[in-house]
Amino acid sequence: MNQFNPTITSRREFLKKSGRLAAASATAVGVVRPGYTAGSDSLNLALVGCGGRGTGAVKNAFAVSGGPIKLVAMADVFENRLKNSYKELSEKHTEDVDVPEDRQFLGFDGYRQAMDCLRPGDIVILATPPAFRWVHFRYAIQKGLNVFMEKPVTVDGPTSRRMFRLAKQAEAKNLKVAVGLMSRHQRAMQQLHERIQDGEIGEIILQRGYRMQGPIGTFASPPKPPNISHLMYQVQRFHSFLWAGGGSVSDFLIHIIDHQCWMKNDWPVKAQAVGGRHYRRDPKGVRYVDQNFDSYAIEYTFADGSKFFMEGRCMEGCAEIYSSAIHGSKGMAIVSKKGDCGMPSSTYKGQNPDKAKLIWESNIDQDESNPYVNEWRDLLDAIRNDKPYNEAERGIRASLVTSMGRMAAHTGQEITYEQMLNCPHEFAPGLDKLTADSPPPLKPDAQGRYPVPQPGIVKDREYADFE
């Protein structure tokens, strides 16, 4: 069982100290100066959410040439996560990291303090669990900041509608917004997309995607240990709880769902799905209390009637398949050979990836081979050259379509795009007012178990709260 160290006492002491110094520190890094303009190469970064992906995003930004970038503020709700991220970044990128202790902010309001250290036109990285994305995005827009936000960006209908409105506000202010769906910045896939649009494999008839693997991340969770609150437990293990992260479907399957919709140049209009919980105990017999199914099989339907099948599984000892393919009227394509966007992409005559029938295989220069760096290349180019750049809307659509498939599995119903978008069930209302002392959005029963989906029983929402 994982060990948890919320360090509540030190958190309060830390907040008291950081709050006293925040205003002076913000001025020191230039909050009163004008933001980025053409002719000025300097950009400051703030990191909100200091886990592995947030830390990785900072490294990816540093890997792009074209002008100096400096990390000047960090925020998280867990002190150990912030400290570990700072240590890793400051040791490997000494010249690019200027985040003294008084610009390291803890708590659910830390995002405000971190963004207050930036100038209009600087960049904030939003890499917390996606439940908080709309809260943080709204404040970034108010501050006039460019944004890099990790996927998924929504987990339910109400937050999707809210994010669509915020995306329009960001566009109106000419803010540049990137979403961490890096497949669209994978140069091999860009080449494949062009070939598919040119008709190389004919009309798309069928699309397939697979992410079938053993348990990863915080997919499965045992009962909450005594040294952490239910709220902090759910935030820390956000893959396990639908309100916090959309569960394993939203976090693990979204990349392939997104790039297959891109290849199709369309979004599905409906989904039906199945899924189930199978071996829901750890090797010691402890029962898991998370909300995930172990396996999902989603059938998406596009407006032209073509199908996209997406399969996901998190079970030990099963065959591992992690790839995507497209079948057309004249041939087929391997979109991702392995992983979310693994090269090479390729096309073939006929419906089998037979080397003898190979039409084309991607060959990308080493400098352009990392899609995580490419997405930062594209964002920074847009900022420095004032090009239109707002990936928020398609990031919301990808998140919504992913949730549509998840809801179909969890309810046992066919779910349309419009039903998902207009579903009134908001998993966690009022997150903009959340504090460490707030009750958890998901309430456990007397045995510490959380509500799970009940397909065919609970049909209008993905789970019913305990009464």
For 145, list phi and psi in degrees, rounded to 5. -100, 145
Query: How far apart, in whole angstroms, are the C-alpha atoms of residue 78 and residue 62?
Result: 24
Q: State pTM to two decimals.
A: 0.91
- Domains of the chain listed by start with CATH number: 8-183+374-392 (3.40.50.720)
> So what's the pLDDT on residue 40?
54
> So what's the pLDDT on residue 21?
43
> So what's the pLDDT on residue 107?
97
Average pLDDT, consecutive stretches of 10 residues, N- to C-terminus, the chain (467 residues): 33 39 44 41 94 97 94 98 98 97 98 98 98 98 98 98 98 98 97 98 98 94 94 97 98 98 98 92 83 97 98 95 98 98 97 97 91 97 97 98 98 98 97 96 91 97 90
> So what's the pLDDT on residue 310?
98
> So what's the pLDDT on residue 31?
39
How many Cα atoms within 13 Å fall on the side-chain side of residue 439?
6
> So what's the pLDDT on residue 16?
40
